[in-house]
Amino acid sequence: MSEREVMEFDVVIVGGGPAGLSSACRIMQLAQEQEKEISVCLVEKGSEIGAHILSGAVVDPIALEELYPNWKALGAPLNTEVKLDELHWLHDDKVSRQFSNWMIPKTMHNEGNYVISLGNLCRWLAEKAEELGVEVFPGFTAATVAYDDSGRVEGVITGDMGIAADGTEKDSYMPGMLLKAKYTIFAEGCRGHLGKQLIQHFGLDKDADPQHYGLGIKELWDVPAEQSKPGTVIHTAGWPLGNEAGGGGFLYHLENNQVVVGLITDLNYKNPFLSPYDEFQRYKHHPLIAKHLQGGKRVSYGARAIAKGGLRSLPEMVFEGGLLIGCDAGTLNPGKIKGTHTAMKTGLLAAESIVNALLGENPPSKLTDFTEAFNASWVGKELQQTRNFVPVMHKLGTFFGGAYNWVDQNLCSGSLPFNFTDVVPDYASLELAEKHQKIVYPKPDGLLSFDKLSSVFLSNTNHDEDQPSHLKLTDKDIPIQKNLPMYDEPAQRYCPAGVYEVVEKEGESVFQVNSQNCVHCKTCDIKDPSQNITWVVPEGTGGPNYPNM
């Protein structure tokens, strides 16, 4: 540690998403109100703020209203209010049926919400944070949690730069810095690699169900002006996933003749032959979806895991020296299919708790008042109301689970006296290949459907090839000796970026890892049935560079 440069701050924030940026802004607002100086540093692994941000996104502005009540006058990029809100059941690849408005759980209604680029909102929030005095460092990875001699979190160590693939130091080598803080906020997003470590280290999930995840795959399209209907929001359930997996599709019209389309596949699926990427390519050919895209041009592609377990899967969010907030903890409201507003609110609550502590005479090591404030806030009440939303879908399926949720949310406001749980981790739900038939997916037509490599190209993903792989195999033999015979090595299909392949070399099957392709979705870390793959941060600035996503 003596070789590392040390920088000290009052607060270090890991992650430039909506949770971390909201927290940074609110800390500085409160410091100014109290006429106190508080130093805040925010590190973001993307090449710029927003580069790694991917979400649908239909956003409830409730938390933004609290942070910046005059956000419209300030020019926040929420330009397209929802005007048309539809939910459809897709029976098959041709037939669909629209649900009447009264048939939709009220939590899924989108009146007053906005169709936005979440990346652009984060860029705007970063500007506001810097105006307030926050030191924002994009391109810096938080590689390791730093603990003091008592076991308290004292900050993070940024990733070393200039390490060759063989582990040696290149001429450009520069050791990472120790960023010390009185309090550290971890806001890395879903399945944050440090958040995962902290949950294990402190046993934060000992009283929670396993977290459950979905894989969201999204494309951004430019469409002809005559097809553009800004404010149109379409959600679907049923085909193409059907009985194979939970989840659903979405299509939103933004401003500037742009449309976003995507598919979320629940990662508790059983069939190892299922490919979420190929299911998404099929999805775009459904007449309901295709009519919005035909004649358009695909301009960006991305994928990201979604923490969707809700309250049942929420770990303790405070520990000695810091907090775990937003999707790093799993605060998405599954009943609304929204996590931005809840992530931002946890950031605001974290800021208030930290400032109160810093201004007090004896700052506590563990911010227990945050937990009380969280439970009493609207975000705590939202998650309490939808606590059964995901486990009941897992138990009863999309159709009957949806019917239960309609009764629970629309008639009882989430107060039905039943408690559903799902204690099977998503990776453990995968069944042996011998129980299933291979799925033959149609070849992409190059108009609506595309191959993986051309999609990864549109994500602007790049990593320095001469660096250690950030996809770590605990046992390099497991993919071929265990996963291949048992599950036909599902990494070939659950990865939406073509990172994992089984190739033949000199008559033998070899597991090939194309880490250069990785879009940082974290699906491999979640779904590998042997839990043999661990995602860690690559060298700074590596990964996708999403525009307007």
Q: How far apart are CA 167 and CA 4, in angstroms?
A: 18
For residue 3, the model assigns a pLDDT of 79
Is 412 assigned a catalytic role?
Answer: no
DSSP at 411: I
Cα separations (Å) of 117 from 121, 220, 260, 287? 7, 10, 10, 25
Is 47 assigned a catalytic role?
Answer: no
| Amino acid present at 341 | H
Q: How far apart are CA 518 and CA 516, in angstroms?
A: 6
**Catalytic, out of 39, 55, 346, 353:** 55
For residue 336, the model assigns a pLDDT of 92
Is 152 assigned a catalytic role?
Answer: no
What's the count of helices (H) and strands (E) in the chain, helices before strands?
Answer: 16, 24
**Catalytic, out of 39, 518, 523, 541:** 518
8 A C-beta contact, residue 250 and residue 234:
yes
For residue 312, the model assigns a pLDDT of 95
Q: How far apart are CA 358 and CA 371, in angstroms?
A: 17
Q: What's the pTM value of the predicted model, to 2 decimals?
A: 0.96
Is 524 assigned a catalytic role?
Answer: yes
Beta bridge partners of 153: 147
Of the candidates 374, 380, 356, 377, the one whose C-alpha atom is nearest the C-alpha of residue 318 is 374
**Catalytic, out of 25, 41, 190, 495:** 495
For residue 416, the model assigns a pLDDT of 86
What is the distance, to the nearest Å, from the Cα of residue 250 to the centroid of all Cα atoms in its chain? 16
User: In which element (H, E) is residue 293 found?
Assistant: helix 287-293
Is 304 assigned a catalytic role?
Answer: yes
Which are the contacts of 228, defined by CB distance < 8 A and separation ≥ 6? 253, 257, 258, 259
DSSP at 55: -
For residue 412, the model assigns a pLDDT of 87
8 A C-beta contact, residue 274 and residue 268:
no
For residue 516, the model assigns a pLDDT of 95
HSE, CB side, 13 Å, CA atoms: give it for residue 153: 30
DSSP at 183: E
Ranges of beta strands (E only) in 382-462 are none
Is 282 assigned a catalytic role?
Answer: no
For residue 2, the model assigns a pLDDT of 45
**Catalytic, out of 340, 449, 455, 523:** 340
Beta bridge partners of 197: none
For residue 314, the model assigns a pLDDT of 98
Which are the contacts of 10, defined by CB distance < 8 A and separation ≥ 6? 38, 39, 40, 181, 182, 183, 358
DSSP at 439: P
**Catalytic, out of 123, 282, 298, 304:** 304
Average confidence (pLDDT) per 10 residues, the chain, 549 residues: 83 98 98 97 97 95 98 98 97 96 89 97 98 97 97 97 93 94 98 98 97 98 97 97 92 97 98 98 98 98 97 97 98 95 98 97 94 98 92 84 86 85 96 97 97 97 94 98 98 98 94 97 98 95 93
